[in-house]
Structure 1
Amino acid sequence: MQQAALTPESAEIIEQGATVTEKAIALLGEHGIYPDSLQQKMLATHIKAMAWRAYSGESLPELDMEMFDEISKLALSLAEQVCSWMDNLAYEEAHLLSVHFEVAKENELSPPKGESSCQ
Structure 2
Amino acid sequence: MGEVVEVREVEIQALAERVLGQITELLEVENKYLSEVQQMKMDAHIKAMARRSLTGEGLPDFDDDLFDEISAPAMRLSEMVTAMFGNLSNKEALLLSIHFELAKNK
TM-score norm. by structure 2 comes to: 0.88
Greater C-alpha radius of gyration: 1
How many residue pairs match? The answer is 101
AA matched with 2:74: A
Is 1:25–1:35's contact at 8 Å kept on the other side of the alignment? no
Is 1:39–1:100's contact at 8 Å kept on the other side of the alignment? yes
Spell out the pairing of 1:1-80 with structure 2 (5 A cutoff).
5-7=6-8, 10-80=9-79
Distance (whole Å) between structure 1 residues aligned to residue 77 and residue 70 of structure 2: 11
Structure with greater contact order relative to length (CA < 8 Å, sep ≥ 6)? 2
Cα distance, 1:100 vs structure 2: 0.5
Q: Which residue does the alignment assign to 1:108?
A: 105
Is 1:79–1:95's contact at 8 Å kept on the other side of the alignment? yes
Q: CA RMSD in A?
A: 1.4
Is 1:54–1:88's contact at 8 Å kept on the other side of the alignment? yes
Cα distance, 1:108 vs structure 2: 3.0
Task: Note the residue ranges of structure 2 that are not aligned, 5 or more in a row.
Answer: 1-5
Q: Which residue does the alignment assign to 2:3?
A: none
Task: Note the residue ranges of structure 1 that are not aligned, 5 or more in a row.
Answer: 110-119
Q: Which residue does the alignment assign to 1:112?
A: none
Distance (whole Å) between structure 1 residues aligned to residue 10 and residue 99 of structure 2: 24
1:81 aligns with 2:97: no
Runs (4 or more) in structure 1 with deviation over 6 Å come to none
* Identity of matched residues, %: 40
